[in-house]
């Protein structure tokens, strides 16, 4: 067991956001053992001073806190409870800090399951993308017992600009993240539609971007994603497939509650169209390509 101010961490998922988080923990003095199927991710983490393990159980063997930053609930299940899963090796009273976007019901069930094995859950989905993960300025929507927050205090401090403590019941954090993803997905889709309309009508899309950025129609996603569209640069900082998954989660939650979510459904169809066209691994701003393909035009504009 490490000093309580810098708990030893097993970090499972060195992906778009996880790698930046893990590197920030190293910078703040944590011992971090990382796991990821990507050789490039493992190499980057090792070059930053991290230790690489062969599987989650090996990583968790010396950990106080296991951080899970994978894609979905199926992957969470696999890395925690599958072959060489982390829970089998995590010390009693150890904490699982679960950061993936998953259904709230899954988080509640996971907390109960971990309780039976002598472990605790901090339900801590995050927002901010790769850039804010790298700068240590993520937003966490977290819920869990006070002891779990205490165990993760230095981890949250090293990786976040804002931590919302939403209560002591796991599942609240995941529910709030679901609401966030509804807005994020719809905002990206509407930003793409607006810029596509401007381009098809013959407007200078860079001028339109400047005007909207200073007007009531602006949003955080408009400001962040439209420059990717204008530069025709879809290097993945997030990915189209992420919103296929996350908006699907949003819609499933609506189904469970018998609540219609027509805007989320329309945005989901747009991301599905982009993924179906082969753009699933590109940055999520590539959803604008659906409009470009339909109208045979480009939204990109040369920099002045």
In angstroms, the CA 294 to CA 300 distance is: 15
Q: Are 36 and 18 in contact (CB under 8 A)?
A: yes
Helix (H, G, I), strand (E, B) or coil at 208: helix
Q: Are 37 and 14 in contact (CB under 8 A)?
A: no
Angle (nearest 5°) at CA 239 between 234 and 245: 155
**Cβ density class 206-228: b for 16+ within 10 Å, e for less:** bebbeebeeeeeebebbebbbeb
In angstroms, the CA 273 to CA 291 distance is: 10
| Sheet with 95-98: strands ordered across | 51-52, 32-35, 9-12, 65-68, 95-98, 120-123
DSSP letter at 275 equals I
DSSP letter at 281 equals T
The region, left, alpha or beta by phi > 0 then psi within -120 to 50, assigned to residue 60 is alpha
Q: Are 124 and 152 in contact (CB under 8 A)?
A: yes
Residues acting as catalytic residues: 177
Question: Which of 36, 269, 237, 274 lies closest to 135 in space, CA to CA?
Answer: 237
Question: Which of 126, 206, 120 lies closest to 159 in space, CA to CA?
Answer: 126
């Amino acid at each position: 067991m490490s000093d309580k101010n810098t708990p030893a961490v097993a970090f499972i998922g060195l992906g778009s956001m996880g790698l930046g988080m893990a590197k920030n923990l190293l910078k703040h003095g944590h011992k971090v053992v990382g796991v990821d199927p990507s050789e490039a991710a493992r190499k980057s983490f090792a070059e930053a001073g991290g230790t690489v393990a062969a599987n989650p159980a090996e990583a968790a063997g010396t950990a106080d806190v296991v951080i899970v930053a994978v894609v979905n609930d199926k992957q969470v299940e696999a890395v925690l409870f599958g072959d060489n899963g982390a829970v089998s090796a995590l010390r009693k009273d150890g904490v699982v800090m679960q950061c993936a976007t998953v259904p709230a019901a899954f988080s509640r069930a996971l907390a109960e399951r971990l309780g039976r094995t002598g472990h605790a859950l901090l339900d801590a989905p995050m927002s901010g993308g790769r850039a804010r993960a790298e700068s240590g300025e993520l937003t966490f929507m977290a819920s869990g017992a006070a002891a779990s927050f205490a165990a993760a205090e230095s981890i949250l401090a090293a990786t976040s600009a804002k931590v919302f403590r939403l209560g002591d019941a796991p599942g609240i954090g995941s529910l709030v993240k679901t609401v966030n993803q509804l807005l994020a997905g719809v905002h990206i889709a509407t930003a793409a539609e607006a810029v596509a309309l401007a381009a098809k009508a013959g407007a200078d899309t860079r001028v339109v971007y400047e005007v909207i950025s200073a007007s009531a129609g602006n949003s955080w996603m408009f400001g962040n994603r439209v420059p990717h569209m204008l530069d025709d640069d879809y290097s993945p900082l997030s990915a189209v497939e992420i919103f296929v998954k996350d908006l699907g989660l949003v819609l499933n939650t609506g189904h469970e509650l018998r609540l219609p979510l027509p805007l989320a459904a329309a945005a989901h169809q747009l991301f599905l169209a982009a993924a179906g066209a082969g753009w699933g691994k590109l940055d999520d701003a590539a959803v604008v390509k659906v409009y470009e393909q339909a109208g045979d035009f480009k939204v990109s504009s040369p920099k002045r």
